[in-house]
């Protein structure tokens, strides 16, 4: 299934393995071209090695493996030098790089670096409020909040408990999951992007957007993180209440899609010429396919096929671009244009891998 899209993506990845063997790809493209990112201080650097590991699994080509390994070494150095680690996105960064490498090759250096990242991540847990702080210094009262994206950072902690036998990581992941799900999932199963707590008392304060249209709208990628995040939480926690969360968020996402199944960047938009966000579509597909491994749902699989067909038929880049998926939106309020972004490409390739091998041993 989707052989053409796999071939198309592999060609782009092989070409980028030449051009970006010693650097990451920028968060988003400009004129559909990614630039070299040699700084490695963003939340996104895990996606390029993650994509290389996926491509290595599809092809067995050593060049892809060696390129991913070289980039993971840069991420290893980053965590020990504590460069750009004032963030909960240690999960995104180290799950798709070092955890993937450890799972595929048994590399102990990668395992140790990912455990170091897990150690830093649990330090971001606030007893007052019972959550992992998303961004910035832990002393900064204006940053006393969580964000829905953090669901995707929790698998690093579940993995760390699995490989060390120490429950402390998984315990914090669970506490954060339940706090976050109470705050960010609204009664109608739309979601808040971020949620503030009172730093003195830990009381819940309010939901606020950062990348969505407005505080009370439903940012498409946040909703997609909610779909995939609850599917992953169900895998690791196994609480049946999480099934209702997953179903509610998924139904709400599906009910707000335009005709071709690719969401606008915020789900407040139902028609018109606002930009889409193809990255949200790919993330939602991965989440539905993950949940389908635990609870069979043919309707969701059909929905995933329809979305993947729409992406392939309408949203792949042309030959000149070094990206894969067009019309992905990073942050409209910050002035992003509709372009490729590196996680949109990663999740598209992950979705292709999931269709190619439903038993794929995921990195999350």
Closer CB to ligand GLY, residue 149 or residue 350?
149
Q: Which is nearer to ligand GLY, 149 or 339 (CB)?
A: 149
User: Beta strand 145-147 with 125-126: parallel, antiparallel or unpaired?
Assistant: unpaired
Report the nearest approach of ligand GLY to the CB of residue 20 (Å). Answer: 21
Residue (45 or 149) nearer to ligand GLY, CB: 149
Binding site for ligand GLY (CB under 6 A): 149, 211, 221, 330
What is the spatial distance between Cα 20 and Cα 25, in angstroms, rounded to a whole number?
Answer: 7
CA 92 to chain CA mean position, Å: 6
- Quick one: 189 or 330, whose CB is closer to ligand GLY? 330
Cβ distance to ligand GLY smaller for residue 37 or 211: 211
CB of 40 to ligand GLY, least distance (A): 17
Active-site residue identified among 27, 89, 266, 277: 89
Task: Report the alpha-carbon distance of residue 176 to residue 17 in Å, rounded.
Answer: 37
- Do 64 and 55 meet the contact criterion of CB atoms below 8 Å apart? yes
Alpha-carbon distances, residue 193 vs 42, 43, 157, 185, 189 (angstroms): 19, 17, 22, 9, 13
Cα 141 to Cα 18, 89, 137, 180, 196: the distances in Å are 44, 19, 9, 18, 10
Q: How far is the CB of 267 from ligand GLY (least distance, A)?
A: 15
CB 51 → ligand GLY: shortest distance, Å?
17
Active-site entry in 3, 19, 142, 149: 149
CB 77 within 8 A of CB 69: no
Instruction: Give the chain's end-to-end CA distance (angstroms, integer).
Output: 23
89 given a catalytic annotation: yes
Instruction: Name every residue whose Cβ is closer than 8 Å to that of residue 335 and which is 6 or more positions away in sequence.
Output: none
Closest CA to 52 of 89, 82, 96, 94: 96
Q: How many residues are present in the chain?
A: 364
Q: How far is the CB of 149 from ligand GLY (least distance, A)?
A: 4
**What are the tokens at 226?**
């909610």
Which CA distances in Å does 33 have to 26, 123, 184, 317? 9, 37, 34, 10
Rounded alpha-carbon distances, angstroms, from residue 290 to 90, 295, 354: 22, 9, 8
Nearer of residues 221 and 354 to ligand GLY, judged by Cβ? 221
Residue facing ligand GLY at closest CB distance: 149
Q: Which is nearer to ligand GLY, 116 or 149 (CB)?
A: 149
Q: Is 149 a catalytic residue?
A: yes
Candidates 327, 345, 348; CA nearest to 336 is 327
Tell the smallest beta-carbon distance from residue 268 to ligand GLY (Å).
17
Asked if residue 26 lies in contact with residue 340, where contact means CB atoms within 8 angstroms, the answer is no
To ligand GLY, the closest distance from the beta carbon of 291 in angstroms equals 20
Q: Which helix (H) or strand (E) holds 261?
A: none
Between 168-184 and 154-164, two packed helices, what is the crossing angle to 10 degrees?
A: 160
Active site amino acids: 89, 149
């Amino acid at each position: 299934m989707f052989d053409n899209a796999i071939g198309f993506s592999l060609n782009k990845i092989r070409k980028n393995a030449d051009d970006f063997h010693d650097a990451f790809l920028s968060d988003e493209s400009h004129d559909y071209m990614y630039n070299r990112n040699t700084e490695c201080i963003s939340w996104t650097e895990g996606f390029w090695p993650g994509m290389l590991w996926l491509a290595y699994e599809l092809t067995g080509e050593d060049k892809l493996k060696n390129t991913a390994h070289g980039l993971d070494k840069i991420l290893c150095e980053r965590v020990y030098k504590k460069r750009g680690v004032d963030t909960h996105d240690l999960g995104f960064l180290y799950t798709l790089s070092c955890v993937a490498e450890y799972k595929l090759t048994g590399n102990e250096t990668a395992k140790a670096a990912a455990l170091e990242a897990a150690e830093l991540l649990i330090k971001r847990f606030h007893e007052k409020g019972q959550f992992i702080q998303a961004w910035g210094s832990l002393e900064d009262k204006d940053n006393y909040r969580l964000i829905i994206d953090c669901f995707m950072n929790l698998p690093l902690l579940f993995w760390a408990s699995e490989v060390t036998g120490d429950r402390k990581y998984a315990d914090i992941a669970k506490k954060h999951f339940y706090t976050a799900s109470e705050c960010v999932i609204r009664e109608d199963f739309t979601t808040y992007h971020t949620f503030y707590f009172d730093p003195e008392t830990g009381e819940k304060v309010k939901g606020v957007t950062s990348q969505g249209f407005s505080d009370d709208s439903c940012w498409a990628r946040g909703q997609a993180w909610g779909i995939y995040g609850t599917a992953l939480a169900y895998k690791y926690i196994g609480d049946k209440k999480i099934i209702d969360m997953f179903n509610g968020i998924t139904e709400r996402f599906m009910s707000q899609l335009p005709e071709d199944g690719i969401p606008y960047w915020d789900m407040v938009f139902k028609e018109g010429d606002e930009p889409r966000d193809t990255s949200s579509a790919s993330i939602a597909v991965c989440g539905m396919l993950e949940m389908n491994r635990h609870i069979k749902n043919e309707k969701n699989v059909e929905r995933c096929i329809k979305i993947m067909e729409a992406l392939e038929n309408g949203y792949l880049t042309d030959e000149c671009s070094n990206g894969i998926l067009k019309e992905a939106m990073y942050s409209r309020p910050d002035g992003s244009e509709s372009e490729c972004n590196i996680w949109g490409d990663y999740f598209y390739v992950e979705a292709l891998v999931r269709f190619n091998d439903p038993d794929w041993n995921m990195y999350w």
